[in-house]
């Protein structure tokens, strides 16, 4: 049962990693993609229970994404 429960997050990460790898002009190491995923996950987790809609954190989210992508482009 535990293995089945863990498949959802793993599939989400795999889809994210494949998309980033495909869309990036630079060949990224798997560690870079994993760190990007964890940082975005942390951002979402941090604000998940604190805001009621995306508009409340829209500017912060855009800044965070730009910050994360800077060394990758």
Instruction: Report residue 6's pLDDT band, with 50, 70 and 90 as the boundaries.
Output: low
Structural domains counted in the chain: 1
| Contact status, residue 43 vs residue 64, Cβ threshold 8 Å | yes
d(CA 45, CA 52): 13
What is the residue range of 36's domain?
2-72
Rg of the chain over Cα atoms, rounded to whole angstroms, equals: 14
pLDDT digit string, tens, across residues 17-54: 999 888 888 888 889 999 999 999 999 999 998 999 99
For residue 41, what are its two tokens?
Answer: 């996950």
Whose structure tokens read 């869309």? 23
């Amino acid at each position: 049962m535990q293995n089945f429960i863990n498949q959802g997050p793993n599939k989400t990460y795999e889809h994210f990693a494949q998309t980033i790898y495909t869309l990036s002009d630079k060949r990224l190491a798997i560690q870079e993609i994993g760190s990007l995923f964890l940082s975005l996950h942390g951002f979402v987790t941090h604000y998940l229970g604190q805001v009621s809609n995306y508009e409340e954190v829209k500017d912060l989210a855009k800044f965070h994404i730009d910050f994360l992508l800077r060394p990758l482009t």
